[in-house]
Amino acid sequence: MSTLHEFLSRWAGPARWVGLGGAVLVMVAAFLPWAYLPAALDNVTYYGEPSILQWLGFALGFVTAACLVASPILAAKASPRTRRLLNLNRGATAAATASLVYQAIAAIAVALELGGLITLEPGAWLGVVGAAVAALATRALHAGSDARLRYLPTPAWAQILGIVVVLALVLVAAAYGLGLEDPGAFVAFGTFCGLAAWVLARVGIMGWISAAAAANRSALVLASFVVAFVFPFTQNGSDANMSIAAGVLIFAATAMGLNIVVGLAGLLDLGYIAFLGAGAFTAATLSESAFATLGWHPPFPIVMLIAGCVSALLGLLIGSPTLRVSGDYLAIVTLAFGEIFRITMNNLDGSDGPNITRGSNGIPAIPNLDVFGFNFGESHVIAGFDIGRFANYYWLLLLVLALIIVVFVNLNKSRIGRGWVAIREDERAAEAMGVNVFGLKLLAFAGGAFLAGVAGSVKAHVDVSVTPDQYVFMESAFLVAGIVLGGMGTVGGVLVGAAILKLLPEKLRFFEDYRLLLFGLLLIVMMRFRPEGLLPDQRRQLEFHAEDDELAEEADAQALPDLATAGAALSATKEDRA
């Protein structure tokens, strides 16, 4: 690979023009048909009238050309500091590579959906060839060091504006992606989103956005909540899409509780789905369903607390003997607990045990919530938009998730959270330093179970029925996979992982028989190229990339204010004592 790069570097000057030609071919290909029939993608059969997906291909070609043209100008006229902040050669290489991947994915999707490569039209071939030429030519450019736009001095208003623009783009992308019915179009669009984020990271823009988000956390949280709240207004009353969105929030709320156990305390729990099921069954038995086995029907806020407490109590009962073991043994014991829970729920049918859950039949016909006169099962018209049943539950789950995130963040920053992290890093060292290892482990188990129980109480009403078969081992495995994929110990990582693992099965139903294969390949790729997750915390990122000097410098720069504050406090204490 190094020999090829040295050979190409000798031809850097001509390669820039060759790459520019390839980028122009990619842009021209967007105005040509890609498929013979309109059934593939989003109807890419017209001359001179690009579809949305063709415009996205054009955008990648345009970015490649813009970087190739602007890079020598920047090198000739800009200061060394500006060149360090913005590396357009690296951006050109990344954009050309992304363009090749996108064009190839789109061509493969057309061929699979229409029955062979013969169904590809000239635009698809021209796009692939042009992107391949640009990707190969840009390899000859001197990439240099990573762009460091994160260190660019920017006023607060510009940082907040950047955050708002990014979240608005996320809202538009989510609305468009959920509206795609064609699997190939969804895969192509999802590929483009991932590639676009990668290109922005290589140019340095993602680093700047990350720094802006860290400096304006309040604005980030407020803007994120507003975007999430507005999302149902973009779906034109679609219950199908809002059902998927509600499922993502349930998955995220449950995974946030598991994130305490796995991400902070480092305890591998493979039976966590049982706590979600305990909350759901508690809410179902206390509901006004004709099949509910208990005659008490308290208000739903009370039901949520009871469901959380039941799950937490179950966590304490199981955790007390279970947490005496660790590592692989803990994983095996928790896996067994999950299966014991499902079997127990099947046996509480009035025959093998007391009639509480009605056995394998479960509790159906759970009525919709009616809280303070607001019926979640009825459609409402708000500001001229039809808001259906699942949108109502989406907003409720959004509120529940916000409360869970507040609990998680405050625990993470507290003395308890630091104790959990110490246990995760080295249990024996933490115990030697006076950390109550068993007590904090038990608290993590019970706290995570409580949050899962709260999420389960809402899930029971969203799903209308609760049965034991909904809470099998694979659901626990997907929860753990979501945390690993997104980034353990972080809020954003859990949300991203939940969105990916819930959206893919829903939008790629033709791939249902190979779902486990897809998830396995996804995790293998992640472990190879980004083992810390998509949105990791800085501590874990440094653990996996200890040789990255830039990350170490950034961590030191962020640690200096804390050290200065601690030093000032220590000096003040000494003066007071004197």
Confidence of residue 568 (pLDDT cuts 50, 70, 90): very low
Share of the chain above pLDDT 90, in %: 7
**Structure-block tokens of residue 52:** 């949305």
Asked if residue 493 lies in contact with residue 483, where contact means CB atoms within 8 angstroms, the answer is: yes
> For residue range 139-159, what is the model confidence (pLDDT) as tens digits?
877 655 566 677 777 788 888
Mean pLDDT of all residues in the chain?
80
Closest CA to 365 of 291, 280, 257: 291
Residue 497 in this model has a pLDDT that exceeds 60: yes
pLDDT recorded at residue 100: 92
CA 172, CA 353: separation in Å to the nearest integer?
52
Closest CA to 523 of 550, 542, 548, 500: 500
pLDDT recorded at residue 8: 52
CA 184, CA 44: separation in Å to the nearest integer?
12
pLDDT recorded at residue 14: 76
**Structure-block tokens of residue 443:** 């608290």
Question: In the predicted model, what is the mean pLDDT of residues 512-531?
Answer: 76
Question: In the predicted model, what is the mean pLDDT of residues 30-36?
Answer: 87
Asked if residue 169 lies in contact with residue 100, where contact means CB atoms within 8 angstroms, the answer is: no
- How many angstroms separate the Cα of 73 from the Cα of each of 22, 77, 79, 83? 20, 6, 11, 11
> For residue range 268-304, what is the model confidence (pLDDT) as tens digits?
888 888 899 899 999 889 888 888 777 788 888 898 9
Asked if residue 90 lies in contact with residue 69, where contact means CB atoms within 8 angstroms, the answer is: no
Check residue 260 and report its DSSP letter. I
Confidence of residue 99 (pLDDT cuts 50, 70, 90): very high
Q: Which residues pair with 370 in a beta bridge?
A: 375
Question: In the predicted model, what is the mean pLDDT of residues 460-464?
Answer: 87
Task: Give the sign of the dihedral formed by CA 410, CA 411, CA 416, CA 418.
Answer: negative
Nearest-5° Cα angle at 135, 17 to 504? 145
Pairing between strand 385-387 and 370-371? Answer: unpaired
- pLDDT, greater one: 379 or 301: 301
**Cα 454 to the chain's mean position, in Å?**
21
**Structure-block tokens of residue 31:** 């105005």
Closest CA to 291 of 355, 377, 341: 355
pLDDT recorded at residue 576: 45
CA 125, CA 26: separation in Å to the nearest integer?
10
pLDDT recorded at residue 176: 86
Q: Which residues contact 371 (CB under 8 A, 6 or more apart)?
A: 299, 300, 301
As a whole number of Å, the CA-based R_g of the chain is 27
Only one residue has tokens 């989003």, namely 42
- How many angstroms separate the Cα of 285 from the Cα of each of 249, 368, 441, 472? 23, 14, 30, 20
CA 192, CA 473: separation in Å to the nearest integer?
33
Q: Which residues contact 222 (CB under 8 A, 6 or more apart)?
A: none
**Structure-block tokens of residue 155:** 């006023």
Closest CA to 305 of 436, 458, 444: 458
Amino acid at 136: L
377-385 long-range contacts, Cβ below 8 Å, gap at least 24?
379/237, 382/233, 383/233, 385/232, 385/233, 385/236, 385/237
Q: Note the residue count of the chain.
A: 578
Question: In the predicted model, what is the mean pLDDT of residues 358-381?
Answer: 81
pLDDT recorded at residue 101: 92
Residue 349 in this model has a pLDDT that exceeds 60: yes
Q: Which residues contact 391 (CB under 8 A, 6 or more apart)?
A: 232, 235, 237, 239, 242
Asked if residue 271 lies in contact with residue 334, where contact means CB atoms within 8 angstroms, the answer is: yes
Crossing angle between the packed helical segments 205-215 and 183-203, to the nearest 10 degrees: 80
Confidence of residue 572 (pLDDT cuts 50, 70, 90): very low
**Structure-block tokens of residue 561:** 């204010």
Question: In the predicted model, what is the mean pLDDT of residues 44-72?
Answer: 87
Closest CA to 301 of 246, 247, 253, 372: 372
pLDDT recorded at residue 575: 46
Question: In the predicted model, what is the mean pLDDT of residues 395-399?
Answer: 90
Confidence of residue 436 (pLDDT cuts 50, 70, 90): confident
Question: In the predicted model, what is the mean pLDDT of residues 175-183?
Answer: 82
DSSP sequence for 143-190? --SPP-GGGS---HHHHHHHHHHHHHHHHHHHHHHHT---HHHHHHHH
95-109, 338-352, 525-539, range with the lowest pLDDT: 525-539
Residue 74 in this model has a pLDDT that exceeds 50: yes
Crossing angle between the packed helical segments 239-259 and 389-413, to the nearest 10 degrees: 20
pLDDT recorded at residue 142: 63
pLDDT recorded at residue 309: 92
CA 350, CA 52: separation in Å to the nearest integer?
57
pLDDT recorded at residue 305: 92
CA 452, CA 274: separation in Å to the nearest integer?
9
3 state SS of 500: helix
DSSP sequence for 449-492? HHHHHHHHHHHHHHHS-B-GGGS-HHHHHHHHHHHHHH-TT-HH
CA 160, CA 141: separation in Å to the nearest integer?
34
3 state SS of 120: strand
91-105, 417-431, 508-522, 557-571, range with the lowest pLDDT: 557-571
The whole-model pTM stands at 0.82
Largest CA distance in the chain: 87
DSSP H or E segment with residue 370: strand 370-371
pLDDT recorded at residue 270: 85
Amino acid at 278: A
**Cα 220 to the chain's mean position, in Å?**
16
Question: In the predicted model, what is the mean pLDDT of residues 76-104?
Answer: 78
- How many angstroms separate the Cα of 31 from the Cα of each of 5, 188, 208? 33, 18, 34
Confidence of residue 573 (pLDDT cuts 50, 70, 90): very low
> For residue range 522-549, what is the model confidence (pLDDT) as tens digits?
778 877 777 777 777 766 666 665 555 5
Q: How many helices (H) and strands (E) does the chain have?
A: 23, 4
Question: In the predicted model, what is the mean pLDDT of residues 54-63?
Answer: 91
CA 30, CA 293: separation in Å to the nearest integer?
61
Confidence of residue 306 (pLDDT cuts 50, 70, 90): very high
Confidence of residue 559 (pLDDT cuts 50, 70, 90): very low
Asked if residue 265 lies in contact with residue 326, where contact means CB atoms within 8 angstroms, the answer is: no
